[in-house]
A and B are shown apart, each in its own frame.
Chain A
Amino acid sequence: MTEAVPSYLSPTGQEIVFLLLGAMAVGSALLVVTTRQLVHAALWLVVCFGALAGCYLVLTAEFVAWVQVLIYVGAVIVLLLFGIMLTRAPIGRTADLDSGNRAVAAVVAVATAAVLVTVVVDGFRNAYAPLDPGAGSAGELGSAIFRNWVLPFEALSVLLLAALIGAIVISRTDIRGRD
């Protein structure tokens, strides 16, 4: 992390691609919250997650990038679209999609972003990590998970189980609780 820092004034191709992908992610994320069509919000989220996957790819974290595509672009968006389709939400333009808390929400979002950016800038300041392809491969992640992060990994299975049982109980109206 403490190598000679190359100049920021002559960015390499990868850095330019990374910045463009970042701009794409932020722009589509803004569209997610400002669009007036609920389904379009979910579809803009696909673009946002896809740009994020591209960022991981440029940072040579191949496995993370493809997991991002599989889980977020694939599974989470399907779940989200199903969630929208289950409700009686209208598909077309809706004028009353904006809640009255808009200004407060914007303040909270800007404040959160300010805290995160400050922490990251303060924490890493001039740190420079050269990109070595292979550091984000499946093998490296596997040894990290099964050496250091086994407990969160097992806790995740319990979380998935709980959510699955919850989904079943909610979707089956004939399963009654004890009264």
Chain B
Amino acid sequence: MDGYFDRYAVVAVLLAIGIAVVAGGLFVNRLLRPDRPTPEKLTTYECGVDPVGDGWAQSQVRYYVFAYLYVVFAVDAVFLFPWATVFAAPGFGMTTLVEMFVFLGFIALGILYAWRKRVLAWT
């Protein structure tokens, strides 16, 4: 029980060090740099030209499929981990192997559909 939380204390310390490095870098930078802001300097950087229009642009619906494909792969990976720990264990065997491949088959069907409908083509 204590071993479990001790291990996560290491994770927390690592996280704290990471935050300290980034925050410390920015803080030291602030101390060292000259700071003379003008309205021109404070405008949003947009490839060197004056920013045009709003900061908000409506994105195309086709990108939604890419975001959703990421969700599919994430869910997929999440189930592969527990499966990988048990499928070779005694009492599981072939059935478990086939079950996972049925799952992957359904998802592959979706990817195949996306590919056939040329969703994955970058044009």
Interface residues of A (CB under 8 A from B): 14, 57, 60, 63, 67, 70-71, 74-76, 78-79, 82-83, 85-88, 90-92, 131-133, 138-139, 141-143, 145-146, 150, 153-154, 156-158, 160-161, 163-165, 167-168, 170-172, 175
Give bound CA distance, A88 to B58, whole Å.
6
Contact B85 A142 (CB under 8 A): yes
Residues of A within 8 Å of B72, CB to CB, are 160, 164
Stretch from B21-29, B38-46, B108-116 that touches the partner: B108-116
- Chain B proximity of A146: nearest CB distance (Å): 5
Interface residues of B (CB under 8 A from A): 1, 3-5, 8, 54-56, 58-65, 67-72, 74-79, 81-87, 89, 92, 96, 99, 102-107, 109-110, 113-114, 117, 119
Give bound CA distance, A132 to B54, whole Å.
53
Contact A91 B65 (CB under 8 A): no
Contact B75 A86 (CB under 8 A): no
Give bound CA distance, A78 to B74, whole Å.
12
Closest to B56 in A: A91
Contact B59 A82 (CB under 8 A): yes
6 additional A-B pairs beyond A91-B55, A168-B114, A171-B61, beta carbons within 8 Å, are A71-B75, A71-B78, A133-B3, A154-B99, A157-B106, A171-B119
Give bound CA distance, A138 to B113, whole Å.
31
How many residue-residue contacts, CB under 8 A, span A and B?
Answer: 132
- Chain B proximity of A17: nearest CB distance (Å): 9
Give bound CA distance, A172 to B117, whole Å.
9
Contact A138 B106 (CB under 8 A): no
In the complex, which of the residues A76, A133, A172 contacts B62, with contact meaning CB atoms closer than 8 Å? A172
Closest to A144 in B: B82
Residues of B within 8 Å of A153, CB to CB, are 79, 99, 103
In the complex, which of the residues B54, B61, B83 contacts A86, with contact meaning CB atoms closer than 8 Å? B61
Residues of A within 8 Å of B84, CB to CB, are 142
Closest to A72 in B: B74
- Once A82-B59, A86-B61 are accepted as A-B contacts, the answer to whether A161 and B106 lie under 8 Å apart by CB is yes
Give bound CA distance, A79 to B74, whole Å.
12
Closest to A57 in B: B8
Residues of B within 8 Å of A170, CB to CB, are 61
Contact A168 B67 (CB under 8 A): no
Give bound CA distance, A75 to B56, whole Å.
22
